[in-house]
Amino acid sequence: MATGLKICGLTRAEDLRACAALGVDAIGLNLWPESRRFVEPHDAAELLAATPGADGLVRVGVSVDASLSETERAIASLDLDLLQPHGDAPVEPYAELAARYDIGWVWVVRGTPALERLRVPEPAPRWVLLDAAVPGFGGAGQRTDWGFAAEAVEALAPIPVWLAGGITPSNAAEAIATVRPAGLDVASGAEAPGASAGHKDHEAIAALIRACRGPG
């Protein structure tokens, strides 16, 4: 079965166009001002509106402990499909806000908490994202524990579980074979080494798509 692909932290129209043309499933817009991939909601709205093909991509708003009013504005101005609250704040208020706007949300699990104690919040997320526990919350290109991730996929079924953290074109196929996630979520591994401001490498995105779609 094909594995989904989300490319996270887009900031440029050419990268959005490449994602649409290459068949990426979802894109993340980083709304946290401290991220090097931050995009002002106003600029992101212009970017999306001016990019042919961007309509077909699932739009995920990534935030870190944003206020609910900011989040509400972002949902409306960016026509978001999913919220991805990625910080330390309790997720329930964002989940309820998403439900009120009739959109979904992504539950981020950072690191390797005890699986038997994980309780999926209500309203239920569209998917669970397993990410590395890193300073700066995410986007550091650091792997999480794939053994834990494989167990989480089983334990959380039937909720889809996506894998993030240090996925690159070189390890994506191995990550899929080992963890069997519903999707991969990639920020650093879709960028040229040393790229600033979230600029993406289109060859890397094409290679990630090949890994996600498999040999068939």
Per-residue mark of binding to ligand LARABZUK, 54-73 (x: CB under 6 A): --------x-x---------
CA distance 155 to 91: 20
* Segments of 89-177 assigned E as strands: 104-110, 127-131, 161-164
Among 22, 58, 89, 140, binds ligand LARABZUK (CB under 6 A): 140
Which residues, in sequence order, are CB contacts of 64 under 8 Å at separation 6+?
A: 32, 34, 35, 85, 86, 87, 137
Instruction: Supply 65's token pair.
Output: 């402990």
Which of 12-20, 68-76, 130-138, 207-215 is the region at the interface with ligand LARABZUK (rule: CB under 6 A)?
130-138
164 beta partners: 185
Q: By CB under 6 A, is residue 141 in contact with ligand LARABZUK?
A: yes
* Residues 30/67, Cβ–Cβ less than 8 Å: no
Among 5, 8, 47, 128, binds ligand LARABZUK (CB under 6 A): 8
Which of 12-20, 24-32, 45-53, 120-128 is the region at the interface with ligand LARABZUK (rule: CB under 6 A)?
24-32
CB of 211 to ligand LARABZUK, least distance (A): 14
Q: Which amino acid is at 22?
A: L
Q: By CB under 6 A, is residue 208 in contact with ligand LARABZUK?
A: no
Q: By CB under 6 A, is residue 164 in contact with ligand LARABZUK?
A: yes
CB of 86 to ligand LARABZUK, least distance (A): 4
Q: How far, CA to CA in Å, does 198 sit from each of 16, 90, 97, 107?
A: 12, 27, 28, 23
Q: How far, CA to CA in Å, does 171 sit from each of 71, 76, 132, 179, 182?
A: 34, 36, 15, 12, 16
Instruction: Supply 180's token pair.
Output: 């069997």
Among 85, 166, 169, 181, binds ligand LARABZUK (CB under 6 A): 166
Q: What residue ranges bind ligand LARABZUK (CB under 6 A)?
A: 8-9, 28, 30, 32, 35, 37, 62, 64, 86, 131, 136-142, 164-167, 185-189
